[in-house]
Amino acid sequence: MEFAGELSHMENGYSKGKESWNNGLRTAQNMSTSLLRKKSDPMLVSKLRFQMLRQFLANLQEVVLGTKLAVLFPAIPLAIAADFYKFGRPWIFALSLLGLTPLAERVSFLTEQIAYYTGPTVGGLLNATCGNATELIIALFALYQNKIHVLKYSLLGSILSNLLLVLGSSLLCGGLANLKKEQRYDRKQADVNSLLLLLGLLCHMLPLMFRYAAAPGIFIDDHSILQLSRASSIVMLVAYIGYIFFQLKTHRQIFESQEEDEEEEKAVIGFWSAFSWLVGMTLIIALLSEYVVGTIEAASESWGISISFISIILIPIVGNAAEHAGSIIFAFKNKLDISLGVALGSATQISMFAVPLCVVVGWIMRIQMDLDFSLLETACLALTIIVVAFTLQDGTSHYMKGVVLCLCYVAIAACFFVHKIPAPLDQTQVNLGLKPSSGFSA
Amino acid sequence: MASLQEPWLLEKGNLKGSSKEIRHGRTAHNMSSSSLRKKSDLTLVSKVRYGMLRQFLTNLQEVILGTKLSVLFPAIPLAVVADCYGFGRPCVFALSLLGLTPLAERVSFLTEQIAYYTGPTVGGLLNATCGNATELIIAIFALGQYKIDVVKYSLLGSVLSNLLLVLGTSLFCGGIANLRKEQKYDRRQADVNSLLLLLALLCHSLPLLFRLTGASAAVTNDPTLQLSRASSIVMLITYLSYLVFQLFTHRQLFEAQEESEDDEDGLPEEAPVIGFWSGFIWLIGMTTVISLLSEYVVQTIEAASDSWGISVSFISIILLPIVGNAAEHAGAIIFAFKNKLDISLGVALGSATQISMFVVPLCVVVAWIMGINMDLNFNLLETGSLALSIIAVAFTLQDGTSHYMKGLVLLLLYIVIGTCFFVSKTPLNQVNITNSETEIAIDKIFRV
């Protein structure tokens, strides 16, 4: 059994360093998804003769079957078959969504494995960029297909889902499971994240208010809103880089997850196999995302629910499923710092990194993507951030906080469920207009 | 004199629980209004010979004369007389308002008496539902007469009055009276209430934003209504879990402060002074009189507004709630003077939470059953005032200490909002116009 392990070690790239900093880089996200792993059983594999085959199969078992979510893997070939044989576009949509769930989890696992070899800082950086790979790839595909509203809604929905659903259900379950104990967490981490989210909110509200502040008769050039959005995006990216520096270099101790007797884990696959698996999985994610973005209108018509509801509510629930489950499990064990790290960290990453990155990519591709997520969505975001900032600012928790956050999410979901705006025919003309009727820009 | 009190205890319904439990049933609400009670002087009555007559007169004295506000009781028959003889509708309005004030306080007293017999949990539940009986009854009458605007404004005004006026004056008076001492309170109770108010704000903002996103009223009417009804159910669920939280799992956060018993400021051990059934009968009677006066108020509000030259919105948002809350207001100030801020906060915040999370969604659900289109869209100006008030109060209360400057700021916020509604003479006098038309009018104002 050690033989298989040694071979992975001997592969190019020996593990750097000792176990001590392995602990250091177990960020909240890695720890939470590690709950969904199963320990592989290499016994079956050792019976085979050829070493290479054995190594390959052990590798395969570790990566493909190493999670409880692996039951959803068959959805991937089914989605490809459905697209090939033209089953029905809503089917392609549903199967692609199901297939994305385990892939998102596996990417997180592979990122963690690579991080064992590259050291804690690069590992943290990798996690910071790839942590929300699914949302980012979906967004880039939507951008490429010029479906700006899908892009905006899915990113917004991801933030709302992390802040209200994941956080709320964690606090609720944690509160119910620990009724008699006092639940505390370190509020400094929550404070930094709330502050960044407020900066993101400001950058979203300025283009929106710009549109409303025009005196009648003055034509608000779409160009100026675009310029403002691009400048704000650069500001947000600078803030995010500052946050990464803060989190990984100067103030690590605020973000260190609580170390109890964690078992010492070594990397289970080699560096290059992890790297190639990562590339492969990213390609599959890209394929499924293309299906999702391509078939979203068909699914919306066929199921009778608006595109905004699908983008804001359904897609993020799928994309966040793995983190969500891990967060709830840690809340049960009364380790709220980790749950908060997962939920808030994800929301901050999307709001301060994914969104401005899309604006910049749109700038390069000459697509008019701005930060104006119309009135209703921005107001939901504002109220959500205020509620969450207020909830987390005292450092204790009880189930009532979780109840309120979850019900806020239900209210917002109901709002988008009944909000049936007509889908625009031509994407490029949606952002024009003098009147503040930007509800139609969706 | 002891023998005089016993017949009550012999009445049906033995006292549940020991004195410790009775103390726990004394929520902040009850304790505050009990400060307005006077101890009855039973010597006059003891001169009457017959036992039954004596018992009845003691009962009467305890209930009717047991409060300092009973000077206002004559307004009730005067209001009825004014209505019968057609004196002048503004007169009927003013007299009904005056008559409602002591009645609200007596209902609270009777609820407390009944709670002695039913145990602390049911007592807490009773208080949670009947605590704002006056506002609820006025709202339901207005709903029945299709005056949806009056409903919305009176409930909104009640929330604003509790959050800014009652809380502000309490903190201000308490701060002035205790200049040298440090004033602390338990912030966890304030936190939970602020969180619930923020959820209510979210549920109010979403239907408003539907309207503001520019689509025509015809398109957004139905979704707004559906969303409002769904949000109301969400709010009622939240209120239920808040009750579970407050009465079962986390009682200790909400327990009124128990000081050491023998100091002169502490409340004396009170045994109930009237029997269970007489309390119950008085409660039903008083509720009927409240309904009568509320009906007068709702019917004559336009006439009063025309005759006095102030808008209906001002009367509904400012005047009605001041009257309805007068007793709680006085109690909250008295407890703030004694530096027992937890009780003042419990009264003010608890009332605001109850109205926004229970009474408002209940009205929407009742309107749904009655086939009336009431939604949660309380126009832009009102929702904006609500939002700023909630944020200001949440911020004020989040550090657990207090001084008079906090009270002064909240009070001045209320004065500014009152001035705003005083000068905004929007065409809301015709309260019988349905909502959609009013929305169009306000949209036009907004878009210019």
DSSP state for residue B434 in the 8-state scheme: -
d(CA B400, CA A73): 52
d(CA A264, CA A249): 23
A206 closest CA partner among A5, A433, A382: A382
Q: Find tokens 């409340």 and name the residue.
A: B267
Preferred mutation among A407, A417, A435, A440 to probe B, highest tally of B CBs within 10 A: A407
| pLDDT at residue B365 tops 90 | yes
Count the helix, strand and coil residues of chain B and give each as a percent rounded to the nearest 5.
Answer: 75, 0, 25
d(CA B359, CA A278): 55
d(CA A110, CA B56): 83
- In this prediction, residue B310 carries a pLDDT of 85
HEC assignment per residue over A23-41: HHCCCHHHHHHHHHECCCC
Return the higher-pLDDT residue of B201 and A433.
B201
- In this prediction, residue B155 carries a pLDDT of 94
Q: What is the distance, to the nearest Å, from the Cα of residue B331 to the centroid of all Cα atoms in its chain?
A: 13
B158 closest CA partner among B384, B346, B329: B329
CB contact under 8 A, B198 and A179: no
Q: Which residues of A touch B448 (CB under 8 A)?
A: 216
Share of chain B above pLDDT 90, in %: 25
Kindly indicate the confidence band of residue A423, based on its pLDDT and cuts at 50, 70 and 90: very low
Is residue A79 within 8 A of residue A286, CB to CB? The reply is no
Distances (CA, A) of A16 to A111, A264, B180, B254: 15, 15, 63, 55
Mean per-residue pLDDT for A214-226? 73
Q: Which residues of B touch A424 (CB under 8 A)?
A: none
A419 closest CA partner among B202, B223, B205: B223
Q: How many domains does chain B have?
A: 1
| pLDDT at residue A332 tops 50 | yes
d(CA A267, CA A184): 32
Mean per-residue pLDDT for A229-257? 86
Which residues pair with residue A183 across a beta bridge?
A397
Is the Cβ of B213 closer than 8 Å to some Cβ of chain A?
Answer: yes
ipTM: 0.79
For residue B190, being part of any structural domain is answered with yes
| pLDDT at residue B172 tops 80 | yes
- In this prediction, residue B29 carries a pLDDT of 58
- In this prediction, residue B28 carries a pLDDT of 62
Kindly indicate the confidence band of residue B14, based on its pLDDT and cuts at 50, 70 and 90: very low
Share of chain A above pLDDT 90, in %: 24
Can you give the residue range of the structural domain that contains B386?
Answer: 28-253+275-425
Q: Average pLDDT, whole number, for chain A?
A: 79
Q: What is the distance, to the nearest Å, from the Cα of residue A35 to the centroid of all Cα atoms in its chain?
A: 18
d(CA A45, CA A62): 11
For residue B58, being part of any structural domain is answered with yes
The whole-angstrom distance between A69's CA and the closest CA on chain B is 32
E strand residue ranges, B216-278 = none
Task: Out of B191, B205, B230, name the one closest to residue A414 (CB).
Answer: B230
Most confident region among A134-143, A241-250, B18-27, B154-163 by mean pLDDT: B154-163
User: A116-125, A239-248, A327-336: which has the minimum mean pLDDT?
Assistant: A116-125
Per-residue model confidence as pLDDT tens digits over B89-108: 888 888 888 888 888 888 87
Is the Cβ of B201 closer than 8 Å to some Cβ of chain A?
Answer: yes
Per-residue model confidence as pLDDT tens digits over B378-401: 888 899 999 999 999 999 998 888
Most confident region among A117-121, B75-79, B408-412 by mean pLDDT: B408-412
Share of chain A above pLDDT 70, in %: 78
- Torsions phi, psi for A429 (to 5 deg): -100, 10
- In this prediction, residue B7 carries a pLDDT of 44
Q: B345-354: buried (b, 16+ CB within 10 Å) or exposed (e) per residue?
A: bbbbbbbbbb
Q: Which residues of B touch A434 (CB under 8 A)?
A: none
Kindly indicate the confidence band of residue B416, based on its pLDDT and cuts at 50, 70 and 90: very high
Distances (CA, A) of B76 to A15, A257, B82, B237: 87, 66, 10, 37
- In this prediction, residue B15 carries a pLDDT of 42
- In this prediction, residue B101 carries a pLDDT of 83
Per-residue model confidence as pLDDT tens digits over A89-114: 888 888 888 888 888 878 877 877 77
Q: Which residues of A touch B223 (CB under 8 A)?
A: 418-420
Mean per-residue pLDDT for B19-38? 54
d(CA A91, CA A294): 12
DSSP state for residue B112 in the 8-state scheme: H
Which residues pair with residue A215 across a beta bridge?
none
Task: Out of A398, A419, A420, name the one closest to residue B250 (CB).
Answer: A398
Kindly indicate the confidence band of residue A33, based on its pLDDT and cuts at 50, 70 and 90: low
Mean per-residue pLDDT for B251-265? 54
Mean per-residue pLDDT for B343-352? 88
Question: Chain A: residue nearest B210 by CA?
Answer: A376
Question: What distance separates the 2 farthest-apart alpha carbons in chain A?
Answer: 81
Is residue A22 within 8 A of residue A267, CB to CB? The reply is no
Return the CATH number at B101.
Answer: 1.20.1420.30
d(CA A21, CA A256): 11
- In this prediction, residue A43 carries a pLDDT of 59
For residue B264, being part of any structural domain is answered with no
- In this prediction, residue A372 carries a pLDDT of 87
Is the Cβ of B232 closer than 8 Å to some Cβ of chain A?
Answer: no
| pLDDT at residue A41 tops 60 | no
- In this prediction, residue A29 carries a pLDDT of 59
| CA-based radius of gyration for chain A | 22
User: A125-129, B207-211, B410-414: which has the minimum mean pLDDT?
Assistant: A125-129
Question: Chain B: residue nearest A378 by CA?
Answer: B209
d(CA A41, CA A38): 9
Count the helix, strand and coil residues of chain A and give each as a percent rounded to the nearest 5.
Answer: 75, 0, 25
DSSP sequence for B34-94? HTTB----TTTGGG---HHHHHHHHHHHHHHSSBGGGGGTTHHHHHHHHHHTT--HHHHHH
- Torsions phi, psi for B183 (to 5 deg): -110, 115
d(CA B14, CA B8): 10
Helix, strand, or coil (residue A67): strand
Structural domains of chain A in order of their starting residue, each with its CATH number: 88-255+274-418 (1.20.1420.30)
- Torsions phi, psi for B191 (to 5 deg): -65, -45
Chains A–B, number of C-beta pairs less than 8 Å apart: 100
d(CA B155, CA B316): 8
CB contact under 8 A, A400 and B199: no
- Torsions phi, psi for A365 (to 5 deg): -85, 5
Is the Cβ of B63 closer than 8 Å to some Cβ of chain A?
Answer: no
- In this prediction, residue A38 carries a pLDDT of 64
Letter for the amino acid at B400? Answer: G
For residue B4, being part of any structural domain is answered with no
For residue B269, being part of any structural domain is answered with no
d(CA A283, CA A214): 45
- In this prediction, residue A282 carries a pLDDT of 86
Is the Cβ of B242 closer than 8 Å to some Cβ of chain A?
Answer: yes
| pLDDT at residue A381 tops 90 | yes
The model's pTM is: 0.81
| pLDDT at residue B212 tops 60 | yes
Q: Which residues of A touch B254 (CB under 8 A)?
A: none
- In this prediction, residue B266 carries a pLDDT of 42
Task: Out of A383, A391, A439, name the one closest to residue B202 (CB).
Answer: A383
Q: Which residues of A touch B196 (CB under 8 A)?
A: 404
d(CA A360, CA B132): 55
Is the Cβ of B289 closer than 8 Å to some Cβ of chain A?
Answer: no
Residues of A with CB under 8 A from a CB of B: 179, 216, 374-376, 379-380, 383, 386-387, 390-391, 393-394, 396, 398-401, 403-404, 407-408, 410-412, 414-415, 418-421, 435-440
A123 is written with which tokens? 């590992």
Mean per-residue pLDDT for B398-420? 92
Kindly indicate the confidence band of residue B426, based on its pLDDT and cuts at 50, 70 and 90: low
Distances (CA, A) of A385 to A161, A232, B198: 12, 19, 11
| pLDDT at residue A314 tops 70 | yes
Mean per-residue pLDDT for B307-323? 87
Kindly indicate the confidence band of residue A265, based on its pLDDT and cuts at 50, 70 and 90: low
Q: Which residues of B touch A414 (CB under 8 A)?
A: 226-227, 230-231, 234
Task: Out of B199, B209, B212, name the one closest to residue A404 (CB).
Answer: B199
A205 is written with which tokens? 């509200």
The whole-angstrom distance between B446's CA and the closest CA on chain A is 11
| pLDDT at residue A442 tops 50 | no
For residue B81, being part of any structural domain is answered with yes
Q: What is the distance, to the nearest Å, from the Cα of residue B55 to the centroid of all Cα atoms in its chain?
A: 32
- In this prediction, residue B103 carries a pLDDT of 83
- In this prediction, residue B337 carries a pLDDT of 87
- Torsions phi, psi for B37 (to 5 deg): -85, 155
CB contact under 8 A, A383 and B226: no
| pLDDT at residue B165 tops 80 | yes
